[in-house]
Amino acid sequence: MIQNPVTPVDQLWRSVRREAETVLASDPLFGASLSAAILDHPDLGSAVAYQIGERLGKRAVDREQFARVAREAHRASPDLVDAAGRDLQSIAVHDPATKGLLPPLLNFKGYVALQAWRVSNWLWRQNRIDLALLLQSCSADSLQVSIHPSASIGTSVFPDHATGIIVGSFVVIGDEVTIYQNVTIGRKDALPGRAPRIGRGVLLSSGATILGDLSQMTCRAVARPSVFRRD
């Protein structure tokens, strides 16, 4: 388990590569896929972009287009890569089943869905609305995670298991939040100010539903199957 949750992203990437090299040495049959996913990339942003393309695209041309858009976003806004690093470290720190950084980067669909949302949110803020919504749609279809591009999400966020997570438009989620499967967070009407605001460090357990004008929800844990509404 990684002990330091604030490791610089370059150092983090070196750790990921060392883990990949160790796996490759112990299991050469994993070589081609591991090289394509990790060892062929110069940095974490490139590897994350590759994962976004692989998970969201159904055809080779689609996979390359999604990866290219993600690389564009990462180049234009390096803070997206920093956020991806913090999210990855958060999983390694908080998930007792995870022994390193490589498994969640390669295998945790919640992590990839969150990074795809970060790209879609960047597109949304660039007024590239249709492409942003396409990424959301493909994430919902391929990963069963739907996060609206207009939402706001902090860093060190952990969508654990992730299947069935729905985050609606203009929802605000703070840093260090953990979200289990089948959680719904959304508005009850068309006013942006009526979306829930989830505070720092909250754990949303499986099946929780949070709807309406809930401001700075800061309780440490929302247990299953809680329903919070504010009209």
pLDDT at 231: 47
Residues facing 167 on adjacent strands? 147, 185
Tens-place pLDDT, residues 66-116 = 999 999 999 999 999 999 999 999 999 888 888 899 999 999 999 999 999
Q: CA-to-CA distance for 133 and 182, rounded, in angstroms?
A: 21
What is residue 210's three-state secondary structure?
Answer: strand
Query: Buried b / exposed e across 36-64, counting CB within 10 Å, b at 16+?
Result: ebbeebebbbbbbbbbbbbbbbeeeeebe
Would you list the DSSP string of 137-153? Answer: HHHHHHHSEEE-TT-EE
Average pLDDT for 206-223: 73
Average pLDDT for 192-207: 88
Average pLDDT for 182-188: 90
67 Cβ neighbours under 8 A, 6+ residues apart:
49, 50, 52, 53, 54, 57
Percent above pLDDT 90 for the chain: 77
pLDDT at 217: 59
Q: Contact, 128 vs 147, CB < 8 A?
A: no
Whether residue 2 has pLDDT greater than 50: no
Range with the poorest average pLDDT among 106-110, 177-181, 190-194, 219-223:
219-223
Tens-place pLDDT, residues 137-146 = 999 999 999 9
Whether residue 16 has pLDDT greater than 80: yes
- pLDDT level of residue 28 (50, 70, 90 thresholds): confident
Q: CA-to-CA distance for 12 and 14, rounded, in angstroms?
A: 5
Average pLDDT for 196-202: 92
> Where are the alpha helices (H) located in 30-152, listed in sequence order?
31-34, 44-56, 60-76, 79-94, 102-107, 109-125, 129-143
Average pLDDT for 147-170: 96
Q: Contact, 86 vs 93, CB < 8 A?
A: no
Task: Rounding to the nearest 10 degrees, give the CA dihedral for residues 216, 221, 222, 225.
Answer: 170
Tens-place pLDDT, residues 34-60 = 999 999 999 999 999 999 999 999 999
**Complete domains list, the chain, with CATH:** 1-143 (1.10.3130.10), 164-231 (2.160.10.10)
Whether residue 61 has pLDDT greater than 90: yes
pLDDT at 212: 83
Average pLDDT for 8-28: 94
Higher pLDDT, residue 6 or 227:
6
